[in-house]
Amino acid sequence: MAKKKKAIWEWNIVRRALLDAFLKLNPRKMMGNPVMFVVEIGSVITTALLFKGGTAFKFNLQITLWLWFTVLFANFAEAMAEGRGKAQADTLRKARSETIAHRLTGSNGKLEDVPSSKLRAGDLVFVSASEFIPSDGEIIEGVASVDESAITGESAPVIREAGGDRSAVTGGTRVLSDKIKVKITSNPGETFLDRMIALVEGAERQKTPNEIALNILLAGLTIIFLLAVVTLQPFAIYSGSPQTVFVLVSLLVCLIPTTIGGLLSAIGIAGMDRLVQHNVLAMSGRAVEAAGDVNTLLLDKTGTITLGNRQAARFVLAPGVTENELADAAQLSSLADETPEGRSIVVLAKERYGLRGRELSSHDAHFVPFTAQTRMSGVNLNGFEIRKGAADAVYAYLTQHGREVPSAVKTTVEEIARSGGTPLVVAEKTRGALGVIELKDVVKGGMRERFDQLRAMGIKTVMITGDNPLTAAAIAREAGVDDFLAQATPKDKMDLIKKEQAEGKLVAMTGDGTNDAPALAQADVGVAMNTGTQAAKEAGNMVDLDSNPTKLIEVVEIGKQLLMTRGSLTTFSIANDVAKYFAIIPAMFAGTFPVLNALNVMRLQRPESAVLSAVIFNAVIIIALIPLALRGVKYHAMGAAALLRRNLWIYGIGGILIPFIGIKLIDMLITRAGLA
């Protein structure tokens, strides 16, 4: 799946959709959409009457054709939305192609080759380099680099290893190096890939709660208009101006909300599809809707808010030490330190003090690696012993060698700790403390703006971190999150979610570890990282294939966009009716009562052209709005009131005005072409 935005009108999708549009005329399928079902019945009735013959054949034929077009256009919209998913499903199917699995049989350690479709949950298989992983599973032995591009679209291989939070593998991905023993976790047909195919294809698509509610509203409106039109005929007879069935059906079809009715399922499918474009798989449409409603976002600090690693920000000198001395010592002690923190010290020394990296092996240097016991690392070089590490560890080291720690250094250490940084003390055995390196969490660029946007949308952000409250508070302040949970354990996380939910709020979170699973399941929107454990992926209701926790914010926006598109097009559809009344009512009765031409504000040419123009507009607007339905109404991060005002202007007022212009133009066009 490529991440680039797909063009809306891609030819092979359009071609398939054109065919599907006709297949979907099957009344049993149409019944799921009451609005369009009514249009189809209307089309059947007018078609039947057309064969009965009668006057005004040319007009009646055109009406009938355009009624059918209305149904077909709506079907086409749905087929277009599905088509985009189907194209992706085809790519995925290729990945699912049958492979041979080496299954471990019994306890004797013998291997047998079976087709991957025979594998059951609990089976153990071996997968070697360049083989496809036959089904979803968990690595129980070994480590391997895996190409997951079939699923994520990301070509760089990822490491998967037994134990810990990187143990899950997905069927259809390929092992690039090494050999792993995998315990299969899904039965055939239930694998991640299977579910993903079903999801993008929309095969198992169920109407979401909100979609059902909207469908009821639309069905209710349809019944109201049915009553209005059916009873209009007796009123017309009373007034001595009975109408033909063609005109009555035209009026009905124009009034019922065909625009939103025709595009509703396309909007839903496209919403899921947009998530897929962002490489997020939602296990249900319900989760996508819930995402739009989220009140509280729980964001892991590391990797989401900060770059993930602490980085050296500055050097603070001990009394009597020169800048170069400290930088030199800091650099030397870190040259062999491959941790991101260590590398950042080297980088800082180079950028700030112009110290180039040195090749140390020739200097007979002996590196002392960091251990959890000593909590220091360093280098022994030409009789010098340079150490850097946690303040108390270095203090102990110095005391042990009979060195006093200057009070200035101690003060610096405390200051740095208080401001949320991590102080590393640098010392040399004989010279004593040389100074302090301040390590800071680096907040990702643009996060503050994002959180400001979220706040404007009414969403509270809570940063989750294992740091102490002091550090957490400092980072929270810098990043601009609303709240933080420091020294968080999985239980704390769970409690926080429950507390928020008890207040009626919807909570979204991301997670990857097995210990995140309960919280992911509890959260209303739980986005599991694809790199995470199987347990986490099953607990959440979405999986992010890119394993990018920041994406939660986009998920929220997509959820909102989905609902907004529905609401806006509903408003637009209903607002359209005003113009249609002004086109059709005078056309119906101006023959008997010429005074009613006062209502013909568009000055449409003839009664026939007026009715025809309204019907054509009603059909064409569906096609015209397909791109909007598929892309979604543009979301702006702003308060609800401002957003509503904006959308009411565009889709409410616009919805009233546009058909006046459109119908008038079509009327001019068909009159010029001699069609009516």
Partner 1 sequence: MTANGWFQILFFLALIFLVTKPMGVFMARVFSRERTFMDPVLRPIEKLLYRVTTVDENHEMRWTEYAVSMLLFSLVSMIVLYLMQRLQGYLPFNPQKFGAVSPAHLAFNTAASFTTNTNWQAYAGESTMSYFTQMAGLAYHNFVSAAVGIALAIAFIRGIARRQMETIGNFWVDLVRACLWVLLPFCVVGALVLVSQGVVQNLRPYDKVSVVEPQQVQKLDPNGKPVVGPDGKPVMDTVTEQTIAQGPVASQEIIKEFGTNGGGFFNANSAHPFENPTPLSNLIELFAIFTIGGGLTYTLGRMTGSPRHGWAVWAAMAILFLAGVTVAYWAEARGNPLLANTDQRVTAMQPGGNMEGKEVRFGIANTALWATVTTDASCGAINGWHDSFTPLGGMVPLVNIMLSEVIFGGVGAGMYGMLIYVVLAVFIAGLMVGRTPEYLGKKIEAYDVKMAMLVVLVFPLVILVFTAISSVNGFGTSSIANPGPHGLSEILYAFTSGAGNNGSAFGGITVNTPWYDTTIGVTMLAGRFLMIIPMLAIAGNLAQKKYVPPSLGTFPVTTPLFTVLLIGVILIVGALTFFPALSLGPILEHLLMGIGRTF
Residues between 443 and 462 that touch partner 1 (CB under 8 A): 455-460
Between 282 and 321, name the residue whose CB sits nearer to partner 1: 282
Residue 571 makes contact with partner 1 by CB under 8 A: yes
**From the candidates 136, 165, 194, 300, which is the catalytic residue?**
300
Stretch that binds partner 1, among 171-179, 268-276, 409-417, 647-655 (CB under 8 A): 647-655
Return the exposure string of 583-621: e unless at least 16 CB atoms fall within 10 Å of the residue's CB, then b: bbbbbbbbeeeeebeebbebebbebbbbbbbbbbbbbbb
Q: What x-and-dash track marks residues 327-366 binding partner 1 by CB under 8 A?
A: ----------------------------------------
Answer yes or no: 392 catalytic.
no
Residue type, 585: I
Contact of 447 with 470, CB cutoff 8 Å: no
Count of C-beta atoms within a 10 Å radius of residue 44: 15
The span from the CA of 132 to the CA of 98, in Å, is: 10
What separation, in Å, do the N-terminal and C-terminal C-alpha atoms of the chain show? 49
Residue 639 makes contact with partner 1 by CB under 8 A: yes
Residue 566 makes contact with partner 1 by CB under 8 A: yes
Q: Which of residues 120-159 bind partner 1 (CB under 8 A)?
A: none
The span from the CA of 295 to the CA of 236, in Å, is: 53
The span from the CA of 59 to the CA of 65, in Å, is: 10
Of 75, 116, 152, 210, the one binding partner 1 (CB under 8 A) is 210
Residue 209 makes contact with partner 1 by CB under 8 A: yes
Residue 563 makes contact with partner 1 by CB under 8 A: yes
**CB of residue 251 vs partner 1: minimum separation in angstroms?**
8
Packing angle of the helix pair 34-52, 57-95 (nearest 10 deg)? 140
Cα dihedral sign for 148, 151, 156, 159? negative
Q: Tell me the three state secondary structure of residue 173.
A: coil
Between 466 and 654, name the residue whose CB sits nearer to partner 1: 654
Residue type, 417: A
**CB of residue 289 vs partner 1: minimum separation in angstroms?**
6
Of 28, 238, 362, 674, the one binding partner 1 (CB under 8 A) is 238
The span from the CA of 552 to the CA of 462, in Å, is: 13
The span from the CA of 260 to the CA of 257, in Å, is: 6
Of 142, 188, 490, 652, the one binding partner 1 (CB under 8 A) is 652
**CB of residue 202 vs partner 1: minimum separation in angstroms?**
21
Q: Which of residues 160-189 bind partner 1 (CB under 8 A)?
A: none
CA distances from residue 334 to 349, 350, 366, 388 in whole angstroms, order as listed: 10, 12, 12, 8
H helices of 24-143, where? 27-30, 34-52, 57-95
Cα dihedral sign for 18, 23, 27, 28? negative
Residue 237 makes contact with partner 1 by CB under 8 A: yes
**CB of residue 483 vs partner 1: minimum separation in angstroms?**
14
Interacting residues of 23 by C-beta distance below 8 A, sequence separation 6+: none
Angle at Cα 541 formed by Cα 535 and Cα 543, nearest 5°?
75
Residue 234 makes contact with partner 1 by CB under 8 A: yes
Residue 295 makes contact with partner 1 by CB under 8 A: yes
Residue 224 makes contact with partner 1 by CB under 8 A: yes
Closest CA to 266 of 654, 648, 627: 627
Between 486 and 615, name the residue whose CB sits nearer to partner 1: 615
Contact of 510 with 529, CB cutoff 8 Å: yes
Residues that bind partner 1 (rule: CB under 8 A) add up to a total of 77
**CB of residue 45 vs partner 1: minimum separation in angstroms?**
19
Interacting residues of 115 by C-beta distance below 8 A, sequence separation 6+: 98, 99, 100, 101
**CB of residue 211 vs partner 1: minimum separation in angstroms?**
9
Closest CA to 527 of 275, 301, 277: 275
Of 225, 246, 395, 397, the one binding partner 1 (CB under 8 A) is 225
Of 620, 643, 668, 675, the one binding partner 1 (CB under 8 A) is 643
Q: Which of residues 493-532 bind partner 1 (CB under 8 A)?
A: 503-506
Residue 577 makes contact with partner 1 by CB under 8 A: yes
**CB of residue 250 vs partner 1: minimum separation in angstroms?**
13
Residue 223 makes contact with partner 1 by CB under 8 A: yes
Q: What x-and-dash track marks residues 584-613 binding partner 1 by CB under 8 A?
A: -x---x---x-xx-xx--------------
Between 160 and 274, name the residue whose CB sits nearer to partner 1: 274
Of 54, 235, 499, 634, the one binding partner 1 (CB under 8 A) is 235
Between 473 and 596, name the residue whose CB sits nearer to partner 1: 596
**CB of residue 514 vs partner 1: minimum separation in angstroms?**
30
**CB of residue 461 vs partner 1: minimum separation in angstroms?**
12
Residue 665 makes contact with partner 1 by CB under 8 A: no
List the helix and strand counts (H, then E) for the chain.
23, 22
The span from the CA of 570 to the CA of 433, in Å, is: 71
Q: Which of residues 404-423 bind partner 1 (CB under 8 A)?
A: none
Residue positions annotated with a catalytic role: 300
